[in-house]
Amino acid sequence: MTAHNELAAALREQRAHLVQRELLLDTVMQNSPVALVLVDANDRIAYANIASRHLLSEGRSLHGLRFRDALIQAPPALQGAAAEQGDSLFSTEIEGVEETFHLSQRAFILQGRTFRLFLLKRLTRELSRQEVSTWKKLIRVLSHELNNSLGPLSSLAHSGAEIARRADYAALPAVFSAIAERAEHLHQFVGGYATFAKLPAPRPQTVPWQQFVADLKGQQTLACLEPLPAQPGWFDRVQVEQALINLLKNAHEASAAPAEVELLIVCAGGAQRIEVRDRGSGMSQTVLAQALLPFYSTKRSGTGLGLALAREIAEAHGGRIQLANREGGGLSVALDLPCSPPDADATVAS
């Protein structure tokens, strides 16, 4: 009886502890700014926090309602995002204000029953902060690079005027050559930013892999891993070639030997992967998380546009770019592109 009483007391204590934890968890979820909706296999809402009630039903309870009925009053952009099976980012107007949301949805089993969890996070304020931060960084990069070129140009112009005044004409060609070199550098720098900002919509075409790789080898040293796919590629040849040239340049800067830079091309499952590998030092997790952001660079003289441009090109084709550290050292950068023509209405975000 003593053992039975001790067991009963322990069970009561554990139950009280679980109830307290459930109350704490419910309080956190109810007061979270992220809208949370839990839907069962019959499309009935089993749980909805305060944020989701305000977003979908003007604060009224959603428990027991069909999720599709709760979405009737929601903006069309939210309805479309909820109908998809994966995560999505969309913008819609809420009370006359343009808002950006991220919708995440996951399926899982709880107590033997299937549920789907929808998490809707408002990103407008965070995106505004990131936009301001990006503009500030862009202005700093542009100011730094312009000053690096305009300073020497001003000095060379002054020196040229002084040389001309002394009638030392033999030294003038060297001054003009230096001015032309700095002007060309500035032109290339500004042109790089203009290319990134005004990337046109891709024009995919059939691309034979043998000729494509041969053209790349004519511009960059690489070791192509055989065999090449028998099925030809389908993409905008000029854009993808430019993206790969940037990736190959990065790989050569990271690797000690040119032979360590490898190109792998695989076509399978309706997708084509073009992967550039090196044997450099790889990237830290912090750098991996930010490497694809425009203007982010760990190089002293880098502009931070190479990987960002490759990302824009991949996404314009309806694909994506992936970065990963390799076992044994080095980095792998892969362009995953669909094998079918992209949507004709696809546009590139500037």
Domain 205-338 fold is Heat Shock Protein 90 (3.30.565)
Mean predicted lDDT score pLDDT of the chain: 82
- Cβ–Cβ under 8 Å, residues 333 and 323: yes
In this prediction, residue 342 has a pLDDT band, given cuts at 50, 70 and 90, of very low
Mean pLDDT of 76-92: 83
The DSSP result for 274-334, as a single string, is EEEE--S----HHHHHHTTSTT--SSTT--S-HHHHHHHHHHHTT-EEEEEEPTTS-EEEE
265: pLDDT strictly greater than 90: yes
pLDDT digits (tens, 9 = 90+) for 17-71: 888 888 888 788 888 888 899 999 999 999 999 988 888 888 888 888 999 888 8
Question: Is the pLDDT score of 346 beyond 60?
Answer: no
- Provide the pLDDT confidence category of residue 206 given band limits of 50, 70 and 90: very high
The CATH code that applies to domain 32-122 is 3.30.450.20
d(CA 54, CA 46): 16
pLDDT of residue 273: 93
Please report which helix (H) or strand (E) contains residue 20, including its range: helix 2-30
Question: Would you state the pLDDT for residue 144?
Answer: 67
Q: Rounded mean pLDDT of 243-257?
A: 85
Per-residue confidence band for 302, with pLDDT thresholds at 50, 70 and 90: low
For residue 229 the two structure tokens come to 């796919």
Q: How far is CA 241 from CA 212, 215, 228, 309, 314, in A?
A: 8, 9, 16, 12, 11
**Residue pLDDT, tens place only, 173-183:** 888 888 888 78
For the segment 218-238, what is each residue's pLDDT rounded down to a tens digit?
Answer: 888 889 998 899 889 999 998
- pLDDT at residue 151 is higher than 70: yes
For the segment 279-296, the average pLDDT, to the nearest whole number, is: 78
pTM above 0.85, yes or no: no
Q: What is the pLDDT of residue 262?
A: 92
Residue 25 structure tokens: 């968890």
Asked whether residue 207 carries a pLDDT value surpassing 70, the answer given is: yes
- Listed by start position, the domains of the chain span 32-122, 127-197, 205-338
pLDDT for the residue 235: 92
- What integer pLDDT is reported at residue 110 of this predicted model? 83
Backbone angles phi, psi at 118, to 5 degrees: -110, 125
